[in-house]
Amino acid sequence: MTGQTDTLDIIRQYHEISKHRPDKYADGPDALDWDLQPDPFRVYEGSDKIRLPLSARTLEYSLSDLITPGQIESRLFSSDTLGQLLETSLALSAWKTFGSDRWSLRCNPSSGNLHPTEAYLVCDNIDEIHNGVYHYHSYEHSLESRCTLPENRQILPDNCLVIGLSSIHWRESWKYGIRAYRYCQLDIGHAIAAVRYAAALQGWHVHVLDHASDDQISRLLGVDRMDDFLESEAETADILLLVSRHDDFDIATLDLEWLATIAHSSPWHGMANILSPQGRIDWPAIEKVSKACTRPVSEFTRIPPATGRYIEYADKHLNASQIIRQRRSAQAFDGQSMLSPEHFIHMLASLVPEIQSMPFDCGNETAHIHLVFYIHRVQDLPAGLYVLPRNATGIDMLKGHFRDEFEWQKPELCPEELPFYRLVKANCRNAARSVSCHQDIASDGAFAVSMLAEFDSVLKDTPWKYRDLYHEAGMVGQVLYIEAEAAGIRGTGIGCFFDDSIHEILGLQDHTLQCLYNFTVGTPVMDTRLVSLPPYSHLQDRKA
């Protein structure tokens, strides 16, 4: 049996071998076999489908409404509101064409647009929808019935439903090899935040059920039913999210073991489609780390979310549904536009859970990710390296590990309550580009970010929380994407970076802090050769 120390060793080893270094990228395929590219759409053949309405464009709430608790009245669960929940979180957001190539984008981003994340809905007692477990089919914006749960009994607490997320690692490893496991986890983080924002648009709450074991999640979502999948294309359980209409019930009363057992013994339907032809490349390191990160059953504990002070958006009327659905990654930035201090301060505030709890209020822990900023073009802020500690003890911890010569100066434009400090004035455009695998997007925008996780302290007793650290980083990324859209500019996640080069800049010498994700924000340069089409024009009978 693998003990906790062995498990931690496996995870640390994976983390090391999946690092990109300037002289050696983490192992990946020698060349891309395009014929093997996995289908980004999972379908359960033979299952009944419920087609969801497309009506998110009718949602009139503003982004300010979204981040202010109690501002949006809780709506009833129905096929209409569930359709909107999914349409504003995990649905298609556009099609792009370039010559004869055509590809879809979604509200949630994904490394390489490969979309390893699959989503399931568990619900009871909703008009027009039988009690059951459903797979969300984003191409059709429909629910595929996977499991019929008993009609005559209450399955979930009143006014609650569950969204389950899983990953198909092969979808990412096909292109990115060994580093793919990290990207799958970051994508889950983006998806969690996307669901949180979308639920807020309905006046609903979200709780990450991180006390659910992977075994319980697998049985509930049916991803343990190996006969329903081609072995190499099975899904790995990731996380359950409880979506509730009210925030006043005791999560501990939700019996996850009972729920998983009921689902497991109920009738299941459909066979997973085959995603790519035979001949896939195995990455045993991914299977090994995935196994080492298996989440056991644990006690539900929750640190109450901060109440927040909610700094207003410069434009109070920005339509939240529109901003969420127009989120895109920039492919290039203009290398000259300056970001206004007002927009920048709002972005900073939205990243500190103590100030703006949305979307971090769905988690159960204090923040474990701190942010280093490479400031290139923010008005009234000298270019340089800055830091935003995201929890109360972060500043002391970071000071203890960063270079002694750093300044720790609070910039004048920064409100007192924002824990934002300058480390050094410098032009760090070259540094940001170099550490981001030489990608120009890291130097041509207003700023770039490196996300540092409290690594050793979190993994020591709970090694499986390696995944949770990436989830938090992905959530931070999603906030930056939304904030960039709100500021009229654009963001891009950067999964390709040289880990230890970043650690070296900061003077980090051990694994107390490790960089898990980079990000960049700026004024995009649009590629006019690309044609954009509406997300659901292929569904003639439903309004897109």
Ligand X SMILES: Cc1cc2nc3c(=O)[nH]c(=O)nc-3n(C[C@H](O)[C@H](O)[C@H](O)COP(=O)(O)O)c2cc1C
469 close to 458: Cβ distance less than 8 angstroms: yes
CB 493 → ligand X: shortest distance, Å? Answer: 3
Tokens of 299: 């006690």
- Closest to ligand X by CB, 194 or 263: 194
**SS percent in the chain: helix, strand, coil, step 5:** 35, 20, 45
CB 49 → ligand X: shortest distance, Å? Answer: 25
Strands (E), 176-267: 205-208, 236-244
Tokens of 321: 């549904």
- Closest to ligand X by CB, 17 or 530: 530
- Closest to ligand X by CB, 136 or 204: 136
- Note the helical H segments in 28-72: 63-67
CB 169 → ligand X: shortest distance, Å? Answer: 14
- Closest to ligand X by CB, 190 or 245: 190
Tell me which residues touch ligand X (CB under 6 A): 105, 109-113, 183, 186-187, 190, 328-329, 439, 441, 492-496
- Closest to ligand X by CB, 72 or 330: 330
CB 497 → ligand X: shortest distance, Å? Answer: 7
Kindly report the backbone phi and psi dihedral angles of residue 432, in degrees, each rounded to the nearest multiple of 5, phi listed first: -60, -40
CB 147 → ligand X: shortest distance, Å? Answer: 30
- Closest to ligand X by CB, 183 or 283: 183
Report how far residue 116's alpha carbon sits from residue 110's, in angstroms, rounded to the nearest whole number.
Answer: 8
- Closest to ligand X by CB, 213 or 523: 523
84 close to 56: Cβ distance less than 8 angstroms: yes
Taking the alpha carbons of 521, 527, 528, 532 in that order, is the dihedral positive or negative?
negative
Report how far residue 186's alpha carbon sits from residue 119's, in angstroms, rounded to the nearest whole number.
Answer: 15
- 282 Ramachandran zone, left/alpha/beta (phi>0; psi -120 to 50): beta
- Whose CA is closest to 162, among 213, 217, 203, 211? 217
Number of H helices and E strands in the chain, helices first, is 15, 18
CB 355 → ligand X: shortest distance, Å? Answer: 24
Tokens of 135: 């797979």
- Closest to ligand X by CB, 345 or 484: 484
- Closest to ligand X by CB, 34 or 153: 34
CB 368 → ligand X: shortest distance, Å? Answer: 18
- Closest to ligand X by CB, 434 or 439: 439
Contacts 24+ apart (CB under 8 A), 410-413: 411/381, 411/382, 411/386, 412/380, 413/341, 413/345, 413/380, 413/381
Contacts 24+ apart (CB under 8 A), 21-24: 21/498, 21/499, 21/500, 21/501, 22/434, 22/498, 22/501
CB 533 → ligand X: shortest distance, Å? Answer: 14
CB 110 → ligand X: shortest distance, Å? Answer: 5
CB 495 → ligand X: shortest distance, Å? Answer: 3
319 close to 62: Cβ distance less than 8 angstroms: yes
- Closest to ligand X by CB, 182 or 343: 182
Report how far residue 435's alpha carbon sits from residue 439's, in angstroms, rounded to the nearest whole number.
Answer: 9
Report how far residue 507's alpha carbon sits from residue 512's, in angstroms, rounded to the nearest whole number.
Answer: 12
CB 94 → ligand X: shortest distance, Å? Answer: 8
Report how far residue 77's alpha carbon sits from residue 146's, in angstroms, rounded to the nearest whole number.
Answer: 20
Residue type at position 231: E
CB 386 → ligand X: shortest distance, Å? Answer: 22
- Closest to ligand X by CB, 62 or 110: 110
